[in-house]
């Protein structure tokens, strides 16, 4: 690269954002950070501003914004502080920005990621909810504004790597039979189902292979994370529900696979480290050093596979159900799940009530066709209201 590649990192204080900046710091000759955004972790965002000297730093709410602004002024740093969702959309669409890492967790990341797509940016998408909630709207924006979409989820990034370079979102034309999404099975893969009634938030957040935030860790424990990834894969690769199969692979070494009609199965392997897909997207189409330890197959010794147990992981089936139903059903599923996971983490509902709440909301809130973003946001609001009522009723 002759000129520095300019980046906005949405969600820089989260796990993906921190790993992104770790890779960026390894290549100061290639990348320049223009904007960083966080929610409320002022200290971490301040430290990142010290290191990367962005033009903008954005937080969600005014109190944290004022605190960050004052601290930056005290240290003589000229980073401009903004706050609010609209400010996050603004820094995602800045003319001088080449790439946007979209790593804000949950529905809150939808609008900034969509702003990046509508600005024609290279969108490195770690926020799966943007596609789960508004897949049609998002993919239309990517196509209409000539944005480049690169998946960051380790599974979708693996699939992207295993596809033909000229893949045109037509599985049949590329000779592809199906996509195989691998899943670790989370912390409760081998725990008797009867014991899941008494799971605590700390147990659910103790993922065996990956270091993640609390919400996504719970999603991994219920396998809703994998269900959301099935919906994401549908939009990314234009794959029908029946062309996407989930395979539990406890070692998390094979990150996903693509099966071709000639019997070939191409897999991407690596240590469970998010810096690998992040570096792939940052350097694409080149490959750059990610700081990831080399994979030692002799130490691993074996690779195991099993089918998901529907009794243990009902959330996975709910996600397939929402995908097949279409329209706003995935947005309803996602909203109900976010409310349910928050209630579980606050110890207001038990672990096994998470799928029960989601199922209830899917039955209560009617799915409608999606033609614009407001259709999705309206469904999201209704689903959250229904889920909150269910949680309050106990």
- 199 and 308, same domain (yes or no): yes
- 302 and 163, same domain (yes or no): yes
- 346 and 377, same domain (yes or no): yes
- Give the residue ranges of DSSP H helices in the chain: 15-25, 42-52, 62-74, 85-92, 110-118, 129-144, 154-162, 201-204, 214-222, 224-237, 275-283, 297-300, 314-325, 329-345, 353-364, 373-393
**Mean pLDDT in residue range 299-319:** 96
Last residue of a domain, one of 123, 151, 179: 151
CB 196 within 8 A of CB 185: no
- 162 and 302, same domain (yes or no): yes
- The domain of 388 spans 326-394
- 310 and 336, same domain (yes or no): no
Q: What is the pLDDT of residue 40?
A: 85
**Mean pLDDT in residue range 356-380:** 96
Give percent above pLDDT 70 in the chain.
Answer: 98
pLDDT over threshold 70, residue 2: no
Residue 251 token pair: 């070692």
How many domains does the chain contain in total? 3
Rounded to whole angstroms, what are the CA distances from 389 to 215, 249, 268, 338?
21, 37, 43, 14
Does residue 284 belong to any structural domain of this protein?
no
**pLDDT one-digit tens code per residue, 317-342:** 999 999 999 999 999 999 999 999 99
- 108 and 205, same domain (yes or no): no
- 232 and 146, same domain (yes or no): no
Q: What is the pLDDT of residue 1?
A: 41
- 195 and 173, same domain (yes or no): yes
**Mean pLDDT in residue range 138-166:** 96
The enclosing domain of 143 has a CATH number of: 3.40.50.720
- 115 and 160, same domain (yes or no): no
What number of other Cβ atoms are within 10 A of residue 373's Cβ?
A: 16
Q: What share of the chain is helix, strand, coil (3-state, %, to 5)?
A: 50, 15, 35
**Mean pLDDT in residue range 202-225:** 85
Does residue 280 belong to any structural domain of this protein?
no
Does residue 279 belong to any structural domain of this protein?
no
- 145 and 221, same domain (yes or no): no
- 71 and 58, same domain (yes or no): yes
């Amino acid at each position: 690269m002759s000129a520095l590649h300019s980046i906005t990192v949405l969600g820089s204080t989260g796990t993906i954002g921190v790993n992104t900046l770790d890779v960026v710091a390894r290549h100061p000759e290639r990348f320049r950070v223009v904007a960083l955004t966080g929610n409320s972790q002022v200290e971490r965002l301040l430290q990142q501003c010290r290191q990367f000297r962005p033009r903008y730093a954005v937080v969600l709410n005014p109190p944290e914004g004022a605190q960050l602004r004052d601290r930056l002024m005290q240290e003589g740093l000229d980073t401009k502080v903004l706050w609010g969702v609209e400010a996050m959309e603004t820094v995602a669409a800045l003319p001088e920005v080449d790439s946007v890492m979209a790593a804000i967790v949950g529905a809150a990341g939808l609008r900034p990621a969509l702003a990046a797509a509508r600005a024609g940016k290279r969108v490195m998408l770690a926020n799966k909810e943007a596609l789960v909630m508004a897949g049609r709207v998002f993919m239309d924006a990517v196509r209409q504004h000539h944005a480049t979409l690169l998946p960051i989820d380790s599974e979708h990034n693996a699939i992207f790597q295993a596809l033909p370079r000229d893949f045109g979102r037509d599985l049949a034309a590329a000779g592809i039979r199906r996509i195989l999404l691998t899943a670790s099975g989370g912390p409760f893969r081998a725990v008797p189902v009867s014991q899941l009634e008494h799971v605590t938030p700390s147990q659910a957040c103790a993922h065996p292979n990956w270091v993640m935030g609390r919400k996504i860790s719970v999603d991994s424990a219920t396998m809703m994370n994998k269900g959301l990834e099935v919906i994401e894969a549908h939009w990314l690769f234009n794959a029908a529900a029946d062309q996407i199969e989930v395979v539990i692979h406890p070692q998390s070494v094979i990150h996903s696979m693509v099966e071709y009609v000639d019997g070939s199965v191409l897999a991407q392997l690596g240590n469970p480290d998010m810096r690998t897909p992040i570096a792939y997207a940052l350097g694409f189409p080149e490959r750059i050093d990610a700081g990831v330890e080399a994979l030692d197959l002799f130490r691993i010794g074996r690779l195991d596979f099993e089918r998901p147990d529907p009794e243990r992981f009902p959330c996975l089936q709910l996600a397939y159900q929402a995908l097949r139903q279409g329209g706003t059903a995935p947005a309803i599923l996602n909203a109900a799940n976010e409310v349910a996971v928050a209630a579980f983490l606050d110890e207001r509902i038990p672990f096994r009530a998470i799928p029960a709440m989601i199922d209830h909301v899917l039955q209560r809130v009617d799915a409608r066709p999606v033609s614009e973003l407001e259709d999705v946001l309206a469904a999201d609001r209704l689903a959250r209201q229904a889920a909150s009522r269910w949680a309050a009723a106990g």
